[in-house]
């Protein structure tokens, strides 16, 4: 909700530039000189940050055309996309439960968006965001997963990827809205820079080293449920049809993920 309110009075890219550069500065202060700022960390951070940049630009732009609840549920179709991407990188066919989950989640998306064969601009943008976030999770696993290459520090990796997002938005943001934003927009950018960027992404990278991409994406299901609850209490409620679609999306996510998640040992 703070993001959706803020971007009504600020450009998408300026808001993201302030948010992510501030988040990167906070994490850099935490990492300090103790982090291994080696080539492997920087390269991995750039790869992860590029996907994250695409995801946040698409998600924040999509919020202009859809509600917070719909955005959250569509975004977390990424949970279905992660095992598909993993199968693609390993050149294997997706598992049957993944295919079943995709079918169920697709039906859910159809209902969530009003049972129309065409979808709105906001949903299309947010679907692109989900794909980019799924790539980000897979890239993080490539960097910090077990038996990878040179050691990559979680905080340093998160710092680099946040800096990539902020830097990628900085110059275009000057031409697409500028930085003369209302004070409330700056407050929202700083708040999300700490809570939703520095803390959240630092913990994600640290935790993904231990639980892997499948469990990580499964745990991220908490967000759309939370967004729906917040929307309910603030008046942005889903209708009956949309609520059925949201339930089917969650069911599809569970079907596609819970088998692979249980198969992967905890490190």
Q: DSSP of 54-92, one letter per residue?
A: HHHHHHHHHTTSS-HHHHHHHHTTHHHHHHHHHHHHHT-
Give the CA angle between residues 106, 128, 81 to the nearest 5°. 50
Question: Domain for residue 248, yes or no?
Answer: yes
Please state whether 177 falls in left (phi above 0), alpha (psi between -120 and 50) or beta.
Answer: left
Q: Is residue 118 part of a domain?
A: yes
How far apart CA 239 and CA 232 sit, in angstroms, is 10
Mean pLDDT on 114-133: 80
Summary mean pLDDT of the chain: 75
Q: Within a domain: residue 266?
A: no
Residue 129 belongs to a domain: yes
Q: Are 82 and 217 spatial neighbours (Cβ–Cβ below 8 Å)? A: yes
* Mean pLDDT calculated for residue range 205-233: 57
User: Domain range holding 151?
Assistant: 2-261
Report percent pLDDT > 70 for the chain: 69
The pLDDT value recorded for residue 8 is 65
Burial-class residue 218 by CB neighbours within 10 Å (0-12, 13-18, 19+).
buried
Structure-model confidence comparison of residues 50 and 188, the more confident one: 50
> In angstroms, what is the C-alpha Rg of the chain?
18
Q: Flag whether 214 is in a domain.
A: yes
Greater confidence, 78 or 25? 25
The DSSP 8-state label assigned to residue 94 in this structure reads: P
Is residue 122 within 8 Å of 60, Cβ to Cβ? no
Work out how many domains the chain is built from and give that number.
1
In a domain, 267, yes or no: no
Predicted TM-score of the model (pTM)? 0.72
- Asked whether residue 75 is domain-assigned, the answer is yes
Average pLDDT over residues 70-74: 77
User: Does the pLDDT value for residue 54 go beyond 80?
Assistant: yes
Of residues 115 and 48, more confidence is placed in 48
Residue 212 lies in a domain: yes
Tell the burial category of 112 from Cβ atoms under 10 Å away from its Cβ (0-12, 13-18, 19+): buried
Q: How far apart are CA 10 and CA 138, in angstroms?
A: 31
pLDDT value for 266 = 45
* pLDDT: which is higher, 173 or 240: 173
């Amino acid at each position: 909700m703070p993001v959706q309110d803020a971007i009504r009075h600020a450009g998408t890219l300026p808001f993201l530039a302030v948010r992510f550069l501030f988040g990167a500065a906070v994490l850099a202060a935490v990492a300090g000189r103790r982090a291994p700022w080696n080539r492997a960390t920087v390269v991995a951070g750039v790869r992860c940050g590029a996907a994250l940049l695409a995801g946040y630009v698409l998600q924040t732009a999509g919020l202009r055309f859809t509600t917070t609840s719909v955005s959250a549920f569509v975004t977390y179709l990424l949970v279905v996309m992660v095992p598909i991407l993993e199968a693609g990188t390993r050149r294997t066919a997706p598992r049957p439960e993944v295919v079943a989950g995709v079918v169920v989640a697709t039906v859910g998306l159809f209902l969530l968006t009003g049972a129309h064969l065409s979808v709105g601009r906001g949903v299309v943008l947010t679907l692109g965001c989900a794909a980019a976030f799924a790539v980000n999770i897979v890239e993080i696993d490539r960097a910090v997963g077990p038996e990878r290459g040179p050691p990559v520090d979680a905080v340093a990796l998160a710092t680099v990827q946040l800096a990539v997002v902020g830097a990628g938005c900085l110059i275009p943001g000057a031409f697409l809205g500028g930085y003369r934003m209302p004070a409330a927009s700056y407050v929202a950018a700083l708040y999300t820079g700490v809570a939703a960027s520095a803390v959240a992404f630092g913990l994600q990278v640290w935790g993904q080293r231990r639980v892997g991409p499948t469990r990580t994406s499964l745990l991220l299901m908490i967000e759309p449920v939370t967004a729906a609850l917040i929307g309910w209490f603030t008046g942005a409620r889903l209708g009956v049809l949309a609520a059925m679609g949201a339930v089917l999306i969650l069911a599809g996510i569970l079907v596609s993920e819970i088998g692979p998640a249980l198969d992967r040992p905890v490190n």
